């Protein structure tokens, strides 16, 4: 059985439909990327389910190119311009993101919009049980990830120039509406729990209406960790970021404690003490202390919401794979995860009073 690390790390031959004119890219980078000197070589990362991602190597430096996929796309998906905007803004706030160089919305260069950023060397952990590090190194890595998320939620988004990055307030309501529409647009068969969630979630939204920058897909395998220290060097994959509710973002991260080992090395049923990994209660306590919160109420609603949202995202990737323009062959296998995830989401909805 292949692991997520095998499936998503390293490079693959670029499929024909994702190739582009490398000479045109070289000419663009010479004009628009400060300090760039060719020649360049291009390899496609295996990962990047949604937006195809490439390593650009030059004699002196490595860059990353991230682009919209070709073909028919779901509305509002694949917003590489938003990813570029938020990373560029957060870089000015000393938040750990790759340095950005240029956003190109001229589709004549590589066929779709794209942006260029630094390639950051470090460790990516694909399995949340962190099997590749010693037991005593695991809690510090978790603490670094939790503290970095708290730092993100503490950023003054107006000061960072992101006051227009989303609509403050009513986040849960708007997101439930958005992902219900996206799910309906990508639906390939009836899943009763998804139908139940779409009816119940709008009726159970918490009254606390905080706003912060939210990452939208915050987890270990979207973080590049320092090669030897428990320190986040760069958070990646900002495609789903916006102004939103910090607790939606934080409880998305908490889902890993409720996921089986087969899903990104989830911690469900694991002996956390033996592994040296913090409990969900310790994670909540640390995050709350760093953000000045008094714990996380409405956690069951938030988990139901996040699992519903993730099920909708996976359904979209699966529907794209059926049309033949998903970025990875693994997308088709993902379709099988939607129903169990919807059932798990509904179980949290029931705990929250559904």
- Mean pLDDT per 10-residue interval, the chain, length 354 residues: 50 85 96 95 79 93 92 65 96 97 95 95 94 97 98 97 92 94 93 97 92 95 96 94 95 93 86 97 96 90 95 89 70 81 95 93
Tell me the β-bridge partners of 66: 53, 115
End-to-end Cα, the chain, rounded Å: 37
Partners of 128 in the β-ladder = none
Domain 4-118 sits in CATH at 3.30.200.20
Q: Where are the domains of the chain?
A: 4-118, 135-351
**Cβ pair 254, 266 in contact under 8 A:** no
Give the pLDDT score at 1. 31
What pLDDT does residue 48 have? 56
- Output the pLDDT for position 75: 54
Output the pLDDT for position 2. Answer: 36
Per-residue confidence (pLDDT) for residue 255, from 0 to 100: 94
Q: Which CATH superfamily is domain 135-351 in?
A: Aminoglycoside phosphotransferase (APH), C-terminal lobe (3.90.1200.10)
């Amino acid at each position: 059985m292949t692991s997520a690390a095998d499936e998503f790390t390293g490079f693959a031959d670029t499929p024909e439909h994702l190739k582009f004119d490398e000479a045109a890219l070289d000419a663009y980078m010479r004009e628009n990327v400060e300090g760039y000197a060719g020649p360049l070589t291009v390899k496609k990362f295996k990962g990047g389910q949604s937006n195809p991602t490439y390593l650009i190597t030059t004699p002196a430096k490595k860059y990353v190119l991230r682009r919209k996929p070709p073909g028919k796309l779901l509305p509002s998906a694949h917003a590489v311009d938003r990813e570029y905007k938020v990373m560029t803004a957060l870089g000015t706030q000393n938040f750990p993101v790759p340095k950005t160089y240029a956003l190109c919305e001229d589709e004549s260069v590589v066929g779709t919009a794209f942006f260029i950023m630094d390639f950051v060397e470090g460790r990516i952990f694909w399995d949340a049980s962190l099997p590749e590090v010693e037991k005593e190194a695991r809690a510090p890595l978790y603490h670094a990830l939790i503290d970095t998320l708290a730092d993100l939620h503490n950023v003054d988004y107006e000061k960072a120039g992101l006051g227009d990055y989303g609509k403050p307030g009513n986040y849960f309501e708007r997101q439930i509406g958005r992902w219900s529409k996206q799910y309906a647009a990508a639906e390939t068969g009836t899943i009763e729990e998804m139908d139940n969630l779409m009816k119940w979630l709008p009726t159970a939204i918490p009254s606390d209406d905080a706003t912060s920058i939210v990452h939208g897909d915050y987890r270990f395998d979207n973080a590049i960790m320092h090669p030897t220290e428990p320190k986040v060097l760069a958070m990646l994959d900002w495609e789903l970021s916006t102004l939103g509710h910090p607790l939606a973002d934080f409880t998305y991260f908490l889902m890993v404690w409720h996921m089986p080992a087969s899903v990104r090395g989830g911690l469900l049923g694991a002996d956390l003490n033996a592994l040296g990994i913090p409990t969900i209660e310790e994670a909540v306590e640390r995050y709350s202390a760093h953000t000045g919160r008094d714990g996380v109420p409405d956690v069951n609603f938030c988990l139901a919401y996040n699992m519903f949202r993730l099920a909708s995202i996976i359904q979209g990737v699966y529907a794209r794979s059926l049309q033949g323009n998903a970025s990875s062959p693994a997308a088709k296998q993902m379709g099988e995860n939607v129903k169990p995830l919807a059932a798990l989401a509904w179980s949290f909805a029931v705990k929250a009073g559904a």
